[in-house]
Structure 1
């Protein structure tokens, strides 16, 4: 089970629904049948805009993009996809990450959307999924944006400091979130917002993945033909940003690197930079 209890699942989805009901731009909700079960997609932007796929990180859902969607949906037909096996509205399936199942799953999603190719943005775990898909299906990814992607450099062991905080209830969970995304997450206004309440509920009731992310080889990174943008924060508590930067700069031939020495794992202030890269 991806949730600790059925009641916890209901709590999480109820608060996710509150975020979706307050979505800042006009959107359409759809569900596509895939080999891994139903997949939820939130679509915004002009009907004939260039397609853009968004893949969020672990222990969250498409609410991750609430601060970006207003900008990106001005120019693109944006499809925010709830990853399978995460606390969203897609199937709870968690096939092995290195099995090729995620490539097949995204094939089904793009086929269901009627897309042969799209630009893809991936955050954290979603960055790994996006990168893996670009390696396996380079003809289907026009541009690739990797925000704090896992699996390229060493993943850090956060359990040493995160577990004690999780034992301190809601306050400890917010402190952990602040180390991931900044002090703004400690603001009472965020804690009581639909997004803040949903995030706290997820940390209280959801079982995150524990599987190690497979690491792409240098040869696989060198073979990526599409323009790639990477956004990395030097103070990321999840990944070794310096090693990730080194591997990408050494191997990806068409790379735009944006390395922020003071940046954390989540860097919401990069919306405009990503938009400019996608429009270039």
Structure 2
């Protein structure tokens, strides 16, 4: 059994649900499987083949279903590649590259090579935001624009790794859906289906533990590309005020926004991200 799932039955349940989401994908998509240094990587490609390329990186405990509310809009203007990160409950290999090492950048080198892209814009959420920012720091010539949603690595992390200690504590009340709503900041009325998927995954999945490395002032100052940072004022995982403050102060071409009444899961930002990427 893989270490990222608690049981084989749990892996099966998560993968069955993911396949259901893929069958309901709102736009036409190619399903690609790319060989990389971290094993096979699953990619959903949507939009005109000759449009500007955009790479999407989801958060911890997620997969490309993160973008199902955005993809129909973004795919009108861009060639959008939703990439399943390795070691997460998606369609890619289950091994986990060490954070803070060169391994994730080498993995993204292989992804871009497999897609035949010299460079692309990146959109990343949470862990995916950290990964996209890490790549921009290490490979600035390969990142055209960078949109970061509730990213790690800029502001202080309030707890251990995403969903770990806090979820363990909150889920003791046995109301897992309510606890998922508290952790993500999502309304059960508006995002009930998303919360159900979160509960399913974390009932069967072992997330990463430990804190994300924080990028230095010099690393952020050296970023040459336009950067959009969107954070929620009620994020229980990261210090949104510090994230926005450091991004605004240090990144030369940054637009950092604190969204009111928004928790860690920054959803519903389809148009602001689209306008930034245009």
Asked whether the two chains share a fold, i.e. TM above 0.5, the reply is yes
Structure 2 match to 1:116: 118
The counterpart of 1:165, out of the listed 156, 167, 170, is 170
CA distance in 2, matches of 1:230, 1:183: 19
Alpha-carbon displacement from aligned partner over 1:96-140 (angstroms, at most 9, x marks no partner): 101110000000000000000000000000000000000000000
Contact 2:35 / 2:41 at 8 angstroms: preserved in 1?
yes
Structure 1 match to 2:213: 214
CA distance in 2, matches of 1:141, 1:261: 29
Alpha-carbon displacement from aligned partner over 1:11-41 (angstroms, at most 9, x marks no partner): 1000010011101111110100001100000
Q: Please list, as runs of the form range in 1=range in 2, the aligned pairs for 1:180-199 lying within 5 A after superposition.
A: 180-184=183-187, 186-187=188-189, 191=192, 193=193, 195-199=194-198
Structure 1 regions of 5+ residues with no counterpart? none
Change (3 A) 1:77 1:224: same
CA distance in 1, matches of 2:96, 2:110: 16
Alpha-carbon displacement from aligned partner over 1:137-180 (angstroms, at most 9, x marks no partner): 000000000100012111112766532332344xx221122124
Structure 2 match to 1:175: 178
Number of equivalenced pairs: 273
CA distance in 1, matches of 2:199, 2:250: 38
Q: What SS does the aligned partner of 1:53 have? A: strand
Structure 2 regions of 5+ residues with no counterpart? none
CA distance in 2, matches of 1:51, 1:58: 23
Contact 2:180 / 2:195 at 8 angstroms: preserved in 1?
no
Change (3 A) 1:90 1:160: closer
Give the alignment's Cα RMSD to 1 decimal: 1.6
Q: Cα distance, 1:198 vs. partner? A: 3.2
CA distance in 2, matches of 1:89, 1:160: 26
TM-score, scaled relative to structure 2: 0.94
CA distance in 2, matches of 1:104, 1:161: 32
The counterpart of 1:63, out of the listed 56, 62, 65, is 65
TM-score, scaled relative to structure 1: 0.93
Change (3 A) 1:174 1:197: closer
Contact 2:185 / 2:234 at 8 angstroms: preserved in 1?
no
CA distance in 1, matches of 2:251, 2:72: 30
Structure 1 match to 2:142: 140
Runs of 4+ more than 4 Å apart? 158-161
Structure 2 match to 1:74: 76
Q: What SS does the aligned partner of 1:258 have? A: strand
